[in-house]
Each structure stands twice: as C-alpha cells, then as structure tokens.
Amino acid sequence: MQWSLRAVVLSLLLVTFAGCIGTTEPPGDEASPFLKEDGSIDHDAVAALIGAPIEVEHDHRAPTEPDHNGGVNLELVSWNTLGIKLGEQGFANFVFHEDDDEDLAFVAVDGDTTAGFVIADVSDPANVTVLDSYMMVGNSVQEVRVTADGRYALMNVQDLPGAETAVGTAEGQGCTICLHLFDVSDRTDVRWLDALPVDNIGTHNMHVHTVGDTEYVFYVGQPASYNFPTNLPGNYIGIAEIVTTPTGAKLVKVGEWRDPAVAKIDAGRSFPHDVLVYDHPLTGKPVGYLSYWDGGAVTVDFSDVRNPVTLDVDRTMDGSGALAIHWFMPEPEARADGRVIAWSAPEIGSLESDSGVVRAYDVTDPADIKHLGVWGVPGEMSIPGKYVFSGHTTMPDMERGLLAVSHYHAGVWVLDVTDPAAPKHLAYYMTNGNATHTYDGDIWWKKPNFSPDGFGPNVYQARWKDGQLFVTDRGTGLYVLDYTGPIPGSVLGQ
C-alpha cells in the first residue's frame, strides 16, 4: 500500500515539530507548539499534528503499513515478549504489585491450547525480567490479580462460546471453567492451590478488594451463550473469600449480586463483562462498577457482601451507534472540584457509524450516575468486523490530568481529561516492535472474536506506573512508553 496523503502530511509535521514535541515549557527562547501564550494547551495544534492517523481500509496484518507504526507524544522505552513464543500465545490484562523490596508485574498470557500468567520484575522498565510463569492446558485466560500482601494470585479460565475448547476438566488444577488460586510468595516458584468453578463457562474478569477487614474476590459469572435472552444462569457477580484451612488456602464463595431488571433488557445482550470495586472517595463505602454490555454502566453497593444492592444504571448512548459497555472504572480520588468521575469503554464487534466512544460519568453520588461526555478516535472511523478498531479499557492519571485508552487496532491513546465533559486527545502510539525492528512475524489472536486471521497491532490494556505507560499488545508483548506531550495538570484536590 502506498503512503496516503494523510501519512505524508503527518510525517512532515513530525519533522517540523521534532525538536519540541513533549514539553510543557518553551525550549530556550522558542515557544512550545502545544502551548498558548497564557500557558494553556493549544489543542488545535495537537489535533493538527495527530490528524486522523487510522484508515479503516488497509491490510490489518501487514507490518509495514503506515497505520501500524509510530505515534505522537509517546516514545518507546522497551518492548518485551516475556519469554512467550509469539504466534502460539498472546498477552492480555496485567497488574502491578509493589512493596519496599520488589516491583512486579503479573501478566496474563492467553492461548489456543495453553494459557497462564507471567511474573516479571519491572524495577528497571528498560530491562523487564521474567521471574516465573505458570501455564495450564486451557484457553481464554485474560485476567490475573494479586492480593494486597502479594501472597496470592488469581487467574481466570473461560470456555469462550464458539471457540475450540482446549481439553481440560471441570474441577481441580486442570479446570477450564474456574477461578484459580496460587501461592506466589516465592516469585520464582508459583504453586497452584485451588480452583472455584464458575457457571456456566468460567469467569472472564475479577477484582480483589477489602471490605471491612476481609479481602474478597469479586468475579463475573457468564451465561453459556451470547444469544438472547441473557437472563440465564451465570448472569451475576460472584463474591469469594480466600480461606486458610489445614490443607492450604481455598476459595469459598460467600455471596452473589443479581438484578433481573438489568439482565432482562430488550436492547441487546445484558450480562456482566467486567467488575471493579473501589471505596468511594466521599462515602468510604465499597462500590462496584459493572460493565454490563447493553445493560449499561451499573453501580452496586457491596458494603454487605452477602446482600449487595444495586445503586444505579446508565444506558446513555449519545455519541455512538452502540453502547456495549465493556469497562467501567472510577478515578480513585475526588477531584479538586469535589466530583468523582468514572470512565467507560466499549467492546464492539462491528459498527458502521463509528468505532465506539469512551464515556465520562459523574459518580459523586453513585446512586445517581450522570453521563457527561464522550471521546472517539479522530477521523472517519468504523468497525468492519472482528472488533478490529473497538475501544477496550481506560486508565486515569489524576496527577497529570490524563487518561490512557486501549483501542485494539487503533493503538493506545492519551487524553486530556481536565474537563471530563470534553476529553481531547494528546497522544497515540502503535505497538509494533521497536525502533529498529518492525515486528513482521507470527501473531496470536483470540478465536473466534478476531478470526479469521486476526490483526496487529492489537492493544489490550494500558496502565500508568511512575509516570510511564505500560501496555500489553495481544500479539507481540509488553511495551513501556514515555509520555512526552503537554501536561494538562493535576485534577486532584489538596
């Protein structure tokens, strides 16, 4: 494919601004191209530089495509495949664990026949080092979580509808529809402890949170089919506790949240995709933020884990031709103006009108969600199929007023969210190898979601750490990026 006019213009702009990208201070006596005279960000200048970098019609597997390389205001620090053979397995969600002596990332590894997770030392982001890994016969592993003390890890396994199921069991260490528990106190020797079956096809997502003095695992049940109606068994949030017994730690289910009114909507599929639980910054109560597909963005009071209470549901579709809420996450603290803001991202298989939008909500009162605004990838976007340009997740950096957005084949984006009603993009990056080696080898892709032949880049998750952005790409590994664009400024209160 030849370079498009858009690509040529972008390359010329990059050369023009090469000496001054990534600063909020004027370089010497020169004015920053991203700042106005009053010191505020010139978003028109940023938008002109970025343009509309994603063209819908191109070869989604060709590594030398202009759309698959480079970025603006994000620079590569390192790229690591974490010991995984590319093409046979891929990468999914990850979390950090830090204490005085260690700085770790736990990274989920997906695959067609074997899957698991990797423990990596990320104390030197330029040289990420694998400490240990755990793999099992099974597929559709997207999540790994760690308890606050770092002693236990949890991993999901799910039989994805329509996929060729790996040979496993319905219980025990080989269970392919279970939430698995591990002892990871020795970072170089992961030990399996227990498995909790999750009806009907295993859990897709979970989150660890302390309520009172007890640490719980909140996980999503899953209906056995994506067909409707979706008020089927499996349509719930489960709650489990890690219990120490004479024979070792076990997962014990202690509660559920179900709401038939949310599950029975008529406008599409309605079951929980992800659950995140955080103490509300103003009330201190544990609030669950549930992404419920076309059921909407849902808040739940988990103060009593045995009797959770639905607080509110928002199904606003403004700004996009689809809702499909896949991720719903609050900012961890109240803003300087007293508000608590949350963000959602969709996951959309195909859509002619757009590629989905990131949504902002006011959840100052979690029982009264207020939809504030949206952001979408610039340009004439659509999703021709297999989720190719869909959004996926969001991650706030309140100290700098930024939000990272994982957007599958559209890359990773960084937004200015100082005004949540009108987010504005500041940066993007395409995960495709490194500066000296565009990755042109085999990639793994989720079946059947991204079939028949997958695509790359394919950004799954992004998380901020010490000012840097860690990113997993489904097919190629873990990336560490420096954000070099203008800094909007903290939105935190004093």
Q: Tell me how far the alpha carbon of residue 17 is from its chain's centroid.
A: 31
Tell me whether the omega of the peptide bond preceding residue 452 falls within 30 degrees of 0, making it cis: yes
Residue 241 covered by a domain:
yes
Give the chain's domain count: 1
| Separation between Cα atoms, residue 227 and residue 242, nearest integer Å | 33
pLDDT in tens, the chain (494 residues): 333 333 433 443 443 333 333 333 433 334 467 999 899 999 999 999 999 999 999 989 887 777 788 899 999 999 999 999 999 999 999 999 999 899 999 999 999 889 999 999 999 999 999 999 999 988 889 999 999 999 999 999 987 766 666 666 667 888 989 999 999 999 999 999 999 999 888 899 999 999 999 999 999 988 776 554 555 677 899 999 999 888 889 999 999 999 988 877 765 678 889 999 999 999 999 999 999 999 999 999 999 999 999 999 999 999 999 999 999 999 999 999 999 999 999 999 999 999 999 999 999 999 999 999 999 999 999 999 999 999 999 999 999 999 999 999 999 999 999 999 999 999 999 999 876 678 888 999 998 889 888 999 999 999 999 999 999 999 999 999 999 999 999 999 86
Asked if residue 35 is part of any domain, the answer here is: no
CA separation for the pair 404, 99 (Å, rounded): 24
65: CB partners within 8 A, 6+ apart: 1, 58, 59
The verdict on residue 106 lying in a domain is yes
Provide the b/e sequence for 225-249 (b: ≥16 CB within 10 Å). eeeeebbbebbbbbbbbbeeeeeeb
Token pair 């909407």 is found at: 296
Q: What are phi and psi of 423, to 5 degrees?
A: -65, 150
Rounded Cα gap, residues 327 and 331, in angstroms: 13
Q: Is residue 45 part of a domain?
A: no
For residue 42, being part of any structural domain is answered with: no
Residue 254 in domain: yes
Residue 23 within a domain: no
From CA 389, how far away is CA 347, in angstroms rounded?
Answer: 9
User: Which CATH number characterizes residue 373's domain?
Assistant: 2.130.10.10
Note the pTM of the prediction, 2 decimals: 0.92
Classify residue 492 by its DSSP letter: B
* Structure tokens given for 344: 């959602």
Q: Confirm if 153 and 145 have CB atoms less than 8 A apart.
A: yes
Q: Which domain holds residue 331?
A: 52-483
